[in-house]
Chains A and B, each alone.
Chain A
Amino acid sequence: MAASLTGLLKPWTPRVLLVRWSRYNPYYLEPGPRKEVYHIPETELTPEQKEERELKSVRPIKAATNSVTSSVFNDPVLSKFVNMMMKDGDKIIAKGIITQTLENMKRKQVEKYHKAPEGKKAEIECNPYAIFHQALENCKPVIGLTSIQKGGKFYQVPIPLTDNRRRFLAMKWMITECRDNKHRRTLMYEKLSQELLAAFSKEGNVVKRKHELHKMAESNRAYAHYRWW
């Protein structure tokens, strides 16, 4: 809808429209918080980048959200995870839990690293961000199931998933697993760090859930032709 209306809309049309999720006039451009883009001198720009810069000097730009920073430590995947963990809009507590989780994972790995013999040191991964990304990769399902109605009955049909949906499912499973299956006295960051380290080495309940989904999809192969898209 935005693509078709861009030609028709002009800057004097109202700024805010009733469109799903985004209330901005599509005439507005996205903000670009990365600093490196602006440090490139005039001479080294490619033609597309020159065009983009000219466009930015003419068109209005949307306001940036609070979660986006120009910091080098900004990670979009981690921000998404923090937003999914958040309850009642309390981002401070969610961000606190994630930072404690990262610290806990790093402490366990660095302790193991310092106590390991020389030969084994190279195999131990100490970077909590690398562990987090790898663990999430290991939890992402390749194929999903959806409910399709045919002849009065509902069948579970295997379908391909988009990247966003896979990432969402991995994060959702991780968070629900840590909220439900923990002891009353274990804190969230402790349980999360245990689960992430287990998923990094392809063990643990979340990876098991992914494998079960794959098995269900494999067993329902016969219904795959019910999908028409």
Chain B
Amino acid sequence: ILKGQRYIYSTRLSGDSEQHQGQYYTVPPSHFHTVFPHGLPPRYQQQVKTFNEGCVMVRQPALELISHLKRADYSKPTLRYLLYGVKGSGKTMSLCHTVHYCSTQGWLVLHIPDAHLWVKNCKELLPSSYHASRFDQPIQASNWLRNFRTTNENFLSKIKLRQRYVWTKRESTEEGQPLGELVDMGVSRVKSSSDVVGAVLKELRLQAGGTEGGFRLAVAVDGVNGLWGRTTLKKEDKSPVAPEELTLVHNLRKMINNDWCGGAVIATLSQTGSLYAPSSAYLPQELLGEEGFDSMDPFIPVPVSLYSEKEFESCYLYYLDRHWLQHPHSQTEEGKKELIFLSNRNPSVLERLCAFL
């Protein structure tokens, strides 16, 4: 196998052709700050910083998703895609690959990096002003709005609001104002940021399929099983909070419902951040639970498998080329066989092994 055949450092953005399966394509550095302010896994971010470039392997699940997105009919209700697989098989990276493809095609991307972050470890839980029994999470909501603003700068001025929103007795956002104003208000007025998130999601849902100035909306949610499980948050009288009682989760569930058209919902299951789920669970039925499965049904399941032999070769050669495999024995055949044995071709385990070898 020639070295040059396995990976190409092409700066052209077409990471979506079938023949490049197993090869790496480079994401231009300018895209990292705009498209991925918050989406990438932390170890991958470290790798990008070390190698001074960001390369993503083109794999089967991402190619399948992209081909579905190309051929879907956007006048019909939204299709929902669910990526599932064992721990460390590359679900988040496939999601990021698809998100990058969508943003290069000019779609509006709504990327929620990890839905589990909204159901645990919340320091401030305010009672919602809009609805008596719900709770707001100002910090998480304002962080997400800030990242959303970075991702979709060019859409913020084009989309106009279709409804008047009243926040307090003196503040309101009028009809016809650009979306950017709403988002800025949510970032500055932290107390009402959760309601701003709800308003933004509603507006985008209404306007996504529109024929005049129509844009396509991609909703990418990582760790979607967090929306239907239990939370670790507690009310003041120490009783547990159900996920429905959180404004952010409530609005996001409305987004994932397929009652709007003009876009796609791409979701990933994740056991790593999940609460009260056994570590061996990876199938949709086990992680989503009954309620979650009924809400997500019907969806298109996309299984993400471990590296095939070709993909493993490609990853190995990439690390060799980037001077990452430094141990003299790791560059021999014996070392390679040992790496296959120790990692079982699991992408994240291989990455952690090669880190200290």
Task: Mark A residues whose CB is within 8 Å of B.
Answer: 71-73, 99-100, 102-103, 106-107, 110-111, 113-115, 126-130
Contact = CB atoms under 8 A, between A and B. Distances in A.
A110 B334 contact: no
A103 B327 contact: no
Interface in B296-336: 322-324, 326-330, 332, 334-335
B338 interface: yes
A73 B51 contact: no
Contacts of B335: 72-73
Contacts of A106: 324, 326, 355-356
A12 B329 CA distance: 43
Contacts of A127: 326-328
B327 A114 contact: no
A47 B181 CA distance: 87
A99 B356 contact: yes
Chain A interface, >50% SS class = helix
A72 B59 CA distance: 31
Interface string B269-282: 00000000000000
29 contacts: A71-B338, A72-B332, A72-B334, A72-B338, A73-B327, A73-B329, A73-B330, A73-B357, A99-B356, A100-B356, A102-B356, A103-B355, A103-B356, A106-B324, A106-B326, A106-B355, A110-B50, A110-B51, A110-B323, A110-B324, A111-B52, A114-B51, A115-B52, A127-B326, A128-B326, A128-B356, A129-B326, A129-B327, A130-B326
B50 A111 contact: yes
B62 to A, nearest CB: 26
Contacts of B211: none
Given A107-B46, A126-B326, A128-B326, A114 B52 contact: yes
A103 B324 CA distance: 10
A192 to B, nearest CB: 13
Nearest to A125: B326
Contacts of B327: 73, 127, 129
Contacts of A126: 323, 326
B49 interface: yes
A98 to B, nearest CB: 8
B49 A111 contact: yes
Contacts of A103: 355-356
Nearest to B328: A127
A226 B323 CA distance: 54
